[in-house]
């Protein structure tokens, strides 16, 4: 056997070994890559059956416009509830016995979140009041990234059907730092993951302020929640939401009132079913 032939044989054998190792490495790495896309997972009982619900990115997220890389911007009103956020393509996934049984794309629900940002935006690290004064100090953004990740899924019974199989998710913000969002989950009439609508518009996502969703959750009957007071940002009208649940469905009525010169609510102007 010639020297050159032995060299070629050795090179071929080495390539075969390296190719095999590369395949093994790729196989062992793929589950880790998939796990790294899980933003959050929580355990929940659905009709007595244990499930795991995941917020899962389709690809690695980026730091959003309200992220810690722009600490001064993140502490302003347009970033209310979104400081310090990540941005990307986000799904909600249901798992039973480690198998996916349902999936809902959440990204389209964030179209009005931030005018200069595309995709889903969710808070990643918590905002603290002291950040307003400390955001211009050296190393601030690095310190933010060491904070614990914010939990997003808190299951509750917003529609009063006796089942805590839904959660609030921020999808927008109104002046100044009024957190807007939806409720996502299951209902007896729709056992698939979906966004909650209203009695008047069951197939349209019902977007309310977080405070309004909380008032509905805590209510034992009809409830009226102030949405926009007289004089807020120079407003000459006052807005409230009249909310109630009927057999697991949500009735939401937006009402506008005239304001007096001294900033008090006056006559009813309009009433609209949401």
Predicted confidence at residue 118, as pLDDT, reads: 77
Q: Going by C-beta distance under 8 Å and a sequence separation of 6 or more, which residues neighbour residue 192?
A: 102, 186
Q: Going by C-beta distance under 8 Å and a sequence separation of 6 or more, which residues neighbour residue 267?
A: 257, 258
pTM: 0.84
Q: List the one residue out of 68, 72, 71, 73 whose CA is nearest residue 85.
A: 68
Q: What residue spans define the domains of the chain?
A: 36-196, 217-274
Can you give the pLDDT of all 274 residues of the chain as single tens digits? 544 434 444 444 444 333 443 343 344 334 445 688 999 999 999 999 999 999 999 999 998 888 888 888 888 888 899 999 999 999 999 999 999 999 999 999 987 655 566 789 999 999 998 998 888 888 999 999 999 999 999 999 999 999 999 999 999 998 887 999 999 999 989 999 999 999 999 999 999 999 999 999 999 999 999 999 999 888 999 999 999 999 999 999 999 999 999 989 999 999 999 9
Predicted confidence at residue 9, as pLDDT, reads: 40
Q: Does domain 36-196 have CATH number 1.10.260?
A: no
- Fill in the DSSP letter of residue 28: H
Predicted confidence at residue 36, as pLDDT, reads: 84
Burial class (CB in 10 A: 0-12, 13-18, 19+), 237: middle
At residue 138, the 3 state secondary structure works out as coil
Answer for the pair 191, 94: CB distance below 8 angstroms, yes or no: no
Q: Going by C-beta distance under 8 Å and a sequence separation of 6 or more, which residues neighbour residue 36?
A: 60
Quote the CA–CA distance of 191 and 21 in Å, as a whole number. Answer: 45
For the chain, how many helices (H) and strands (E)? 5, 15
């Amino acid at each position: 056997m010639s020297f050159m032939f032995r060299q070629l044989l050795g090179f071929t054998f080495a390539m075969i070994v390296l190719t095999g190792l590369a395949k093994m490495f790729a196989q062992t790495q793929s589950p880790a890559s998939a796990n790294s896309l899980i933003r959050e997972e929580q355990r929940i009982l659905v009709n007595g059956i244990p499930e795991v619900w995941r917020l899962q990115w389709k690809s690695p997220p980026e730091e959003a416009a309200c992220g810690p890389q722009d600490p001064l911007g993140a502490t302003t009103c347009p970033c209310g509830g979104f400081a310090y956020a990540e941005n990307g393509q986000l799904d909600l996934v249901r798992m039973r016995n480690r198998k996916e049984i349902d999936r809902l794309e959440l990204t389209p629900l964030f179209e009005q979140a931030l005018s200069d940002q595309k995709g889903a935006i969710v808070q990643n690290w918590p905002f603290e009041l002291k950040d307003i004064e400390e955001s211009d100090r050296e190393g601030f953004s690095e310190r933010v990234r060491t904070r614990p990740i914010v939990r997003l899924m808190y299951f509750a019974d917003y529609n009063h059907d006796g089942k805590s199989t839904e959660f609030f998710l921020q999808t927008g913000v109104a002046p100044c730092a009024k957190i807007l969002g939806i409720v996502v989950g299951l209902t007896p009439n729709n056992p698939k993951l979906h966004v909650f609508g209203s009695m008047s518009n069951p197939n349209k996502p019902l977007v309310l302020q977080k405070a309004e969703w909380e008032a509905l959750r805590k209510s034992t009957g009809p409830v009226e929640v102030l949405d926009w007071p007289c004089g807020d940002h120079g407003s000459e009208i006052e807005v409230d939401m009249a909310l109630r649940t009927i057999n697991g469905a949500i009735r939401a009525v937006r009402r506008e009132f005239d304001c007096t010169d001294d900033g008090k609510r006056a006559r009813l102007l309009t009433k609209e079913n949401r």
